[in-house]
Amino acid sequence: MDLISILILLAAIFVGWSIGANSASNAIGTLVGPMIIDFRTAAILVAISMLMGALLQSGAVIKTIGEDIIPREDLEGDKIVTLSALLATAIFVGLVTSRAIPVSASHAIVGALVGSGISIGILKEMNIFLILKIFLSWFLTPIFSLILAFMIYEFFMIPISKRISLVTFSETFRLLVIIGTVFIAYGLGANNVGNSAGLVIGSNILGDRIITLIIMGIAMGLGIISFSKKVVNTVGRNITLIDPMTAFTAQSSAGIVIYFFTLLGIPISATQAIIGGLVGAGITKGSGMVNNKLVMKIFIGWIITPFSAAVLSILIYKILMMF
């Protein structure tokens, strides 16, 4: 394995770690926020579920990232393109994670790929229709999740809570939240592992798809366990007051949206999905129950991410080409 290939693999592992440290908060936050289980247990549960999703159903998104945005022959022919995109994603997501801001690795990697494509002058060869479809999905993700969460909470959760005893209600929803966490973490692994593994597979770095997925799955798991706690607190405690009913509502809506787009092979933001779900559930209790200032800060981050990653990828490509 040559030096560039080693650097690509290391950068991809760091991207995987960053996904675990940041995006996994979307699954853990709804467990830790209402204090259903402790952080360590939640982290292990989410890590295992994400690895299963990565191994079993990540193929469609991996193809999108590794072959369909930039032609595979361009990735294999100029590995600096792959390295630039991964480094830009790793640096940006890593820095934002250190600030405890939930951000989308999908936004970052797609933006970085577009930047890399511009760097080598193949914008016309890139799948612009697919890129626009991905951008549209990012716009629709929080809206779909918000509407779905509002409907689930208003027409399903509230009627059920009025018909069962408080003890039964509490025990039932604690179990449902754990099941919901497994579901959303599975979807997160199936969708987001492509952000790190897709380019490694597309550039044919290791030559073995399963080994690549296992490595990236482990990297995500380590990110969850080692560095996700700050972002978990943002998602689980600072956006809205989360009780088991709110947690399950947000998980259900987000999990359905993530899984739907995963089947379509579209890399989306799990952050957008879960926060849309939390806001949708939160506004059923009144707009004052949602931290609008924090939501706006996160929203601005979603807009900035792909453009920042694209610019960073262009700069990194130009710097690397000097050597």
pLDDT digits (tens, 9 = 90+) for 302-313: 889 999 999 999
Q: At 297, list the tokens.
A: 């800060």
Q: Which of 23-32, 220-229, 295-304 has the lowest mean pLDDT?
A: 23-32
Q: What confidence category does residue 142 fall into, taking pLDDT thresholds of 50, 70 and 90? A: very high
On the question of pLDDT at 26 being above 70, the answer is: no
pLDDT at 307: 96
Q: At 292, list the tokens.
A: 């609008």
Q: What confidence category does residue 299 fall into, taking pLDDT thresholds of 50, 70 and 90? A: confident
Average pLDDT value for residue range 59-70: 94
On the question of pLDDT at 42 being above 70, the answer is: yes
Average pLDDT value for residue range 42-49: 87
Q: Phi/psi class of residue 191: alpha, beta or left (left: φ > 0; alpha: ψ in -120 to 50)?
A: alpha
Distance, CA of 257 to CA of 90 (rounded, Å): 25
Please, where are the H alpha helices in 153-269?
158-161, 166-192, 194-202, 209-227, 229-233, 244-263
For the chain, give the percent of residues with pLDDT over 90: 47
Q: What confidence category does residue 318 fall into, taking pLDDT thresholds of 50, 70 and 90? A: very high
Of 34, 53, 260, the closest CA to residue 137 belongs to 260
On the question of pLDDT at 92 being above 90, the answer is: yes
On the question of pLDDT at 287 being above 60, the answer is: no
Distance, CA of 257 to CA of 262 (rounded, Å): 9
Average pLDDT value for residue range 6-30: 85
For the chain, give the percent of residues with pLDDT over 70: 90
In this structure, the number of other CB atoms found within 10 A of the CB of residue 48 comes to 16
On the question of pLDDT at 323 being above 90, the answer is: no
Q: What is the pTM of this model?
A: 0.89
pLDDT tens sequence across 218-243? 999 898 888 777 676 666 566 666 67
Q: Which residue has the higher pLDDT, 294 or 274?
A: 274
Question: What are the percentages of helix, strand and coil residues in the chain, rounded to 5?
Answer: 80, 0, 15
Q: At 222, list the tokens.
A: 């380590």
pLDDT at 283: 81
Residues paired with residue 290 on neighbouring β-strands, in sequence order: 240
Q: Which residue has the higher pLDDT, 9 or 174?
A: 9
Residues paired with residue 240 on neighbouring β-strands, in sequence order: 290
What is the number of alpha carbons within 13 Å of residue 119 lying toward its C-beta? 30
Average pLDDT value for residue range 248-253: 88
In this structure, the number of other CB atoms found within 10 A of the CB of residue 67 comes to 17
